[in-house]
Amino acid sequence: MTLEGKSVAILIAPRGTEEPEFSKPKQAIEEAGGKVTVVSFEAGVARTVNSDLDEGGSYPIDKTFSEVKADDFDGLVVPGGTVGADKLRGSAEAIGFIRAFFDQKKPVAAICHAPWTLIEAGVVEGRNLTSYPTLKVDIENAGGTWTNEEVVVDNGLVTSRDPDDLPAFCAKLVEEIAARD
């Protein structure tokens, strides 16, 4: 499966985004031939975390939310991390950017706590998805159907529960982005 000619945005919240949930999808997209743009709140370098508490790697930020629009991309990846997802859902710019992908019916992949951002964006109602188990009631209260599966795909939305699901998550997000014209 190739992503040649495809451009994908991946979000990062400094000192909050979970390392493997950021680095593994980024690597999968690049290995499939896609171009990745790292998007965050401000320019510079962002550090990820491991298990929400330990320092992860450092990654250059390519663009800020004010410099991008969904029109520029073929898909979006929203990594988890409890703190990272909370920072993203608290940003009107981030939520507007995420919502625009749904408005344009473009693929979106969200793992672990990242579905919090989808709830905030108002795009969960009527959808099937999964997440870290503690988000189950949040998703159901937002009108979504939660299932305990390693990966759930619903009309271009790819969701997974946690880092253990990354192989299936990465394969499905590449497949969904590749399938879109």
Q: What is the pLDDT of residues 33-70, one digit of tens each?
A: 999 999 999 999 999 999 999 999 999 999 999 999 99
Distance, in Å, from the CA atom of 152 to the CA atom of 72, rounded to the nearest integer, reads 26
Order of strands, sheet of 7-11, starting from the edge strand that comes earlier in the sequence: 63-64, 35-40, 7-11, 75-78, 108-111, 157-160, 151-154
- Choosing among 3.60.15.10, 3.40.50.880, 3.10.20.30, 3.40.50.620, the CATH entry for 5-175 is 3.40.50.880
CB 112 within 8 A of CB 163: yes
Ranges of each domain in the chain: 5-175
Q: Is 57 helix (H, G, I), strand (E, B) or coil?
A: strand
Q: Which candidate in 11, 78, 112, 170 is catalytic? A: 112
| pTM over 0.95, yes/no | yes
pLDDT in tens, 157-178: 999 999 999 999 999 999 999 9
H-state helical runs in the chain:
19-31, 82-89, 92-103, 115-121, 136-141, 166-179
Q: Which candidate in 6, 99, 113, 161 is catalytic? A: 113
Q: Are strands 108-111 and 128-129 parallel, antiparallel or unpaired?
A: unpaired
**Residue 170 annotated among the catalytic residues of the structure:** no
Distance, in Å, from the CA atom of 135 to the CA atom of 133, rounded to the nearest integer, reads 5
